[in-house]
Amino acid sequence: MNHPPHPPILYSFPDGASLVASLADFVIKAQKESIDKKGRFTVALSGGSLPKMLGGLIGNPAVKWDKWHVFYADERVVPLDDPDSNHLLCTETLFSKVSIPADQIHTIDTSLLDDLEELADMYEKELIREFAQKDAARFPVFDLILLGMGPDGHTASLFPGHALLAEDDRWIAWLDDSPKPPPKRITFTYPVINHALRVAFVASGAGKVDMLRSVLDEPELGLPSSRVKPASPGQLYWFVDDAASAAVQYSRTVFKL
C-alpha cells in the first residue's frame, strides 16, 4: 500500500531560548503519547548542536527518562572517548544529567569491532532485537528521530551524491568516505528514517539560511535533508529559528510561548 508523506510542519522561533523550550514541549508530548500506547519511548539522536538543543528537558519532571530507549541516527567511528564521538557528546551534554537506564542507551560501540561492515551489522542486529518482535514491521518504527542539517544539506551521515542515498534494504549502513571528517561513520538509512512516527530536524543560525531554503523550497534538488519524508502516519517537523528560516517561502508557523 502506498502511504504518501504529509507535508513538513515548519516551526520557526525568534530566538534559541524559545526554540529550546518548544522543542522540549514537543518531545514531552511525543513521549507521553508513546508511553501511553506502548509503555516506552524510542528516540534516535544525532550529533552537532542537537544534544544541547534538548537542554529544555533536563530537570523537567514531565520527562520519564526510565521509559526512554535511545539510539544513534549516526555515529563517527572513533574511540568512544574521542572528542569526535557523538556518544561522548550526548553523554556529556545530556545523559550525565538525566536518569536513562544505562542498558536503554544503545551505543554504537566502536571499541568492539574494527570492521565497519561488522559494526553496522552489529548495530542493525541490536535494532532488530529491540524492534522486530515488538513492532513486527519490515523496518523499525521509531517514536522520534531527531536530526540536524549540515551546511551541505547532509543529515545523519547521508551526504550529497553519496551511494548510500539509494540504500533501500539495510537498516544501518557504513561509510569510510564521509566528505566531512572523520571519514568512517555508521548511519541510519532512509528506510529507517522514513518509517518513523515523527522525525524532527533542529537547525538554527543565519549560516543555515540558504540551505534551509533549498531543502524546503527546492525538493527537486534531492538534497539529503529533502529526502527525509516519513510515510503516513509519520510526520516531519522542522524546529528552526527565524535567522535560519528568513529566506524560506514554505509556509511557517511562528511560535509564541
Ligand X SMILES: O=C(O)[C@H](O)[C@@H](O)[C@H](O)[C@H](O)COP(=O)(O)O
Distance of CA 45 to the CA centre of its chain: 5
Q: Determine contact, residues 217/249, Cβ cutoff 8 Å.
A: yes
- The residue number with the shortest CB distance to ligand X is 48
* Number of chain positions touching ligand X (CB under 6 A): 10
Q: Which is nearer to ligand X, 34 or 57 (CB)?
A: 57
Tell me, what amino acid is at 53? Answer: M
Q: What string marks each residue from 178 to 197 as x (binds ligand X by CB under 6 A) or -?
A: --x-----------------
Q: CA–CA separation, 104 vs 66, rounded Å?
A: 8
Contact 247, 210 (CB under 8 A): yes
In angstroms, what is the minimal distance from the CB of 133 to ligand X? Answer: 31
Q: How far is the CB of 230 from ligand X (least distance, A)?
A: 19
| Contact call for residue 176 and ligand X (CB under 6 A) | no
Bridge partners (DSSP) of residue 174 are 186
Cell of 10: 515548519
- 148, 224, 230, 234: residue in contact with ligand X (rule CB under 6 A): 148
3-state SS assignment for residue 31? helix
- At 73, give phi and psi (nearest 5°): -65, -30
d(CA 141, CA 102): 22
Least distance (Å) between residue 252 CB and ligand X: 19
Binding mask 94-133 for ligand X (x = CB under 6 A): ----------------------------------------
Options 13-21, 23-31, 107-115, 147-155: segment touching ligand X (CB under 6 A): 147-155
Nearer to ligand X, 52 or 64 (CB): 52
Subset of 16-55 contacting ligand X (CB under 6 A): 46-50
Residue 149-168 contact track with ligand X, rule CB under 6 A, x = bound: xx------x-----------
CA distance 55 to 42: 18
Torsion of CA 148, 96, 196, 154, to 10 degrees: 20
Q: Where along the sequence are the contacts to ligand X (CB under 6 A)?
A: 46-50, 148-150, 157, 180
